[in-house]
Structure 1
Amino acid sequence: MEFENILIDIKENIATLTINRPSKLNALNKQTIKDLHNGFKMLNEDANVKVIIVTGSGEKAFVAGADIKEFADFSIEKGTELARIGHETLFDFVQNLETPVIAAVNGFALGGGLELAMAAHFRVASLNAKMGLPEVTLGVIPGYGGTQRLPQLVGKGKAMEMILTAQMISAEEAKDYGLVNYVVDQAELLPLCEKLANKICRNSSVAISAAIKSVNANYTNCVNGYAVEIENFGLSFGTDDFKEGTTAFLEKRKPNFE
């Protein structure tokens, strides 16, 4: 598959998806969102890919926001459609992907960039990373899930402060607030993400997919997350991975998940 604004590299069971618009600080435009959707979809359907790492090209930016020129003259109807399509094709799509996604935040993650990082299943940042939702400085609000995912991750009060002041926070502050899991030097960012990905690769992909679905259920309106967990827990007992995992445990050996 041909892509204009992303690069994909697969090594064994780990795929690295790089947003590649360095001259625009990897800003999200329509084509990039389309490429990301197709790239994530392709990797999710590849049985050999067990973890996806998403990052930005260069050392300045993960994604420095959306491409404002594309929507500066939009009407109410076009703005609503822009957000709806974005949620469906990328941000909700990534959050609900069966394959785990790690965001390697290698610089500025602003607006849609932070929203993409928050849609990933967890985040690792480099020391130079800066994160924020500056949309109110443009007279709009975060439209790709920022008003929902940020409070889930850092709490309502801090999310309100970040959104209403539009101020950026440092990587260390993001770690203190629970927005990112680790902060490392730029050179250590991808190696750490790959180390974490390798740990994930050793586990059951079937169980991991069910775990993602169950955790996400807790943040879905009108869904009982406990009921989803119970259902997925029960379904696990009918999988080949459960048979292999329990047999390996009883035989005191490492499991070999297909």
Structure 2
Amino acid sequence: MRAANDATDTLRFTITVVEPPRFDPEVIEQTYTISAPIRSLQLPTAGGGHGDLSYALTQELPPGLDFDTDTHTISGTPTRTTRAGTAFYTVTDENGASSSGSFRVTVAAALNFATTIADQIYTSGRPISMMLPEVMGGTGPLIYLLSGDAVPGWLHFDLASLTLSGTPLAAAAAIPLSWTVRDANDATDTLRFTITVVEPPRFDPEVIEQTLYHQRDYRAPATAAGRGWRAAASLRTARSPAARAWL
């Protein structure tokens, strides 16, 4: 503006154009396990925008999970299984410009073997093969572990087939073992069982040479060792004298 005497006054200012706020990187799909505390998930901060940025999660999270707007963090322990739902994460700057990102949240069923493992009794010198059960529920990837204070050296575990195999070499008292699975959210389930190795059955004492008489019963010696097995047999000679030559 110019006055009659050509006196002037001037205000100067600038105009800056900024990019709207945006998220980088995006949030990937999240899968949690019921009753297992989740690892706190800090959602990304936005780039761009003008002034202070405010954040909001506009979709309700599964029961048991909470969102902290100050730290942009999801935490808690899910209390109910849910199908995949979409959560919208929004940022808004002081000019009202906003941007949203979305991600899916699922709560899987709890880990559960849904079975038991019976205590195992094997015979020394005989090869064994046993498939361990798979788990139901949980969030992959799953990690299986066979453990115990004294896992015998002859016992081998194949992770691909979840199979125990080997040949016990000597009798052994009950060996406690644990079969454990852990999922991506650190939820676990464990089955416990024992392995006992017994000696094979054998005769003690050995049978000595016998003379058998017509129409008289005879009893074979009982077996010893093994699992307390006892065997008995009754021998009766044939009427023909020639038949006695079998002994």
Q: TM-score, normalised by structure 2?
A: 0.19
- Bigger helix share: 1
- Bigger strand share: 2
